[in-house]
A = this chain, B = another copy of it.
């Protein structure tokens, strides 16, 4: 090759290489998808979907897991690790469509397992040897429990709750107008009567209580005629100290107050008695044919993330936020003679291993002045604050419930309004005195 040819050859190689460089760099920039937080979930979804199971089955993220990876769940009449074996003499099932998981339940076993793990770590409920039933939030499970408990009763059950109580207990029980139960008001009115009679009673107990945030026990003693539904929506380290694992017959929990995903509508019941559990499953089956699988998958992911660091991330953050809000509110109202907050005692928390101050989901505010008998109206008209009336909770309207679990924007606005209101207090008092 002549020298000039060799040079030309080298030059061409170099140019080709540089062009290739430019091409690759452009390609790299274009092909680098801008995915960040969703990339892991997307890859996980594609990985599980790509498991072929011989075309006779599927693997699911919320299905059966072995050694951390999803395994094939075979179509009816197929078996083997990859679903390639046709099972002999298997029944040709032409009954119903598949609404359920491959074990014929409406419940993801993987999600149930993680819920048990969560309670073990937090120490807020005993789940060993207990049945777990899923529902569309605690709202549905409360009603399922009332149906389940009253189904085997010989006469209609009186449904009660000690005041102040969460309004849905009454509204829901009354709405469903069932022959076998009826809402009967305040549980304390029955306290001294039931043990002598054979009246059937179902008592709702929320602990921490909605609206006042205090830990509660049932007013009535459980027995053959008295059953209790424990609403533990707020029994998490965000809102209260956890003195001991709850160990009641029927306990209701919900995702909405654990991670804030109220719109996902997911809750669970922990049930001791097999018959009550089966009645609740029957309710679920006839009410809506099981809990949405999309929702179950979402709940599974959320709980797995909570469990990753033993719950420290979410529980520390949420406790800090809630107790911070409580402290701020308390500080502002300490300057007022007109309003009083509920008292919540210091308690040792088994989860955080410390004595914990109050961090309730709600302020249960009392208007102290005689003329302020409607505290809701006082806040609404004088401060443009929207609470919920005491009468909604079967209590006096001198009380009003204020939610502290809303967004930071909502809480900050609430604080601003209270600061104004309290700073005007003296002036208002003067004005009112002169008016009287």
Q: What is A's interface to B at a CB cutoff of 8 Å?
A: 10, 13-14, 17-18, 20-21, 24-25, 27-28, 31-39, 41-43, 45-46, 49, 56, 75-78, 89-100, 135-137, 139-140, 143, 147, 168, 171-172, 175-180, 256, 260, 262-266, 282-283, 286-295, 297-298, 363, 380, 383-388, 402-407, 409-410, 413-414, 416-417
Chain B residues whose CB sits within 8 angstroms of the CB of A180 once the complex forms: 177
Chain B residues whose CB sits within 8 angstroms of the CB of A172 once the complex forms: 286-287
| CB <8 Å contact, A75 and B407 | yes
| CB <8 Å contact, A77 and B262 | no
Chain B residues whose CB sits within 8 angstroms of the CB of A99 once the complex forms: 256, 262-263
Contact of A294 among B33, B264, B282 (CB under 8 A): B264
In the assembled complex, the Cα of A136 lies from the Cα of B290 at a distance in Å of 9
| CB <8 Å contact, A409 and B98 | no
Contact of A77 among B32, B77, B298, B409 (CB under 8 A): B409
Q: Given A177-B179, A293-B264, A403-B94, A31 and B32 touching (CB < 8 A)?
A: yes
Chain B residues whose CB sits within 8 angstroms of the CB of A287 once the complex forms: 136, 139-140, 143, 172, 287
Least CB distance from A215 to B in Å reads 21
Q: Can you list the 3 inter-chain pairs with the closest CB atoms, starting with the nearest? A: A136-B288, A24-B24, A263-B293
For A290, give the chain B residue with the smallest CB separation: B265
In the assembled complex, the Cα of A402 lies from the Cα of B92 at a distance in Å of 10
| CB <8 Å contact, A385 and B94 | yes
Least CB distance from A116 to B in Å reads 22
- Which of A136, A171, A180, A380 has the most B CB atoms < 10 Å from its CB? A136
| CB <8 Å contact, A289 and B139 | yes
In the assembled complex, the Cα of A97 lies from the Cα of B139 at a distance in Å of 14
Chain B residues whose CB sits within 8 angstroms of the CB of A298 once the complex forms: 294
In the assembled complex, the Cα of A410 lies from the Cα of B78 at a distance in Å of 10
Taking the full assembly, how many copies of this chain does it contain?
Answer: 2
| CB <8 Å contact, A92 and B36 | no
For A411, give the chain B residue with the smallest CB separation: B94
| CB <8 Å contact, A95 and B39 | no
Chain B residues whose CB sits within 8 angstroms of the CB of A295 once the complex forms: 292, 294-295
Contact of A384 among B31, B89, B384 (CB under 8 A): B89
Chain B residues whose CB sits within 8 angstroms of the CB of A410 once the complex forms: 75-77, 92-94
For A98, give the chain B residue with the smallest CB separation: B262
In the assembled complex, the Cα of A37 lies from the Cα of B222 at a distance in Å of 55
Least CB distance from A51 to B in Å reads 14
Least CB distance from A46 to B in Å reads 5
| CB <8 Å contact, B406 and A94 | yes
Least CB distance from A378 to B in Å reads 14
In the assembled complex, the Cα of A176 lies from the Cα of B177 at a distance in Å of 9
In the assembled complex, the Cα of A267 lies from the Cα of B394 at a distance in Å of 35
For A28, give the chain B residue with the smallest CB separation: B28
| CB <8 Å contact, A136 and B33 | no
In the assembled complex, the Cα of A98 lies from the Cα of B31 at a distance in Å of 39
Chain B residues whose CB sits within 8 angstroms of the CB of A92 once the complex forms: 383-386, 410, 413-414, 416-417
In the assembled complex, the Cα of A247 lies from the Cα of B171 at a distance in Å of 33
Contact of A386 among B93, B264, B416 (CB under 8 A): B93
| CB <8 Å contact, A39 and B28 | no
Contact of A406 among B45, B98, B168, B417 (CB under 8 A): B98
In the assembled complex, the Cα of A14 lies from the Cα of B18 at a distance in Å of 9
Q: Given A13-B14, A21-B17, A409-B76, A94 and B288 touching (CB < 8 A)?
A: no
Chain B residues whose CB sits within 8 angstroms of the CB of A91 once the complex forms: 380, 384-386
In the assembled complex, the Cα of A18 lies from the Cα of B13 at a distance in Å of 10
Q: Given A384-B91, A384-B92, A409 and B56 touching (CB < 8 A)?
A: yes
- Which of A264, A282, A383 has the most B CB atoms < 10 Å from its CB? A264
Q: Given A17-B18, A403-B95, A39 and B35 touching (CB < 8 A)?
A: yes
Chain B residues whose CB sits within 8 angstroms of the CB of A35 once the complex forms: 33, 35, 39, 42-43, 46
Chain B residues whose CB sits within 8 angstroms of the CB of A10 once the complex forms: 10, 14
For A267, give the chain B residue with the smallest CB separation: B288
For A22, give the chain B residue with the smallest CB separation: B24
In the assembled complex, the Cα of A135 lies from the Cα of B413 at a distance in Å of 35
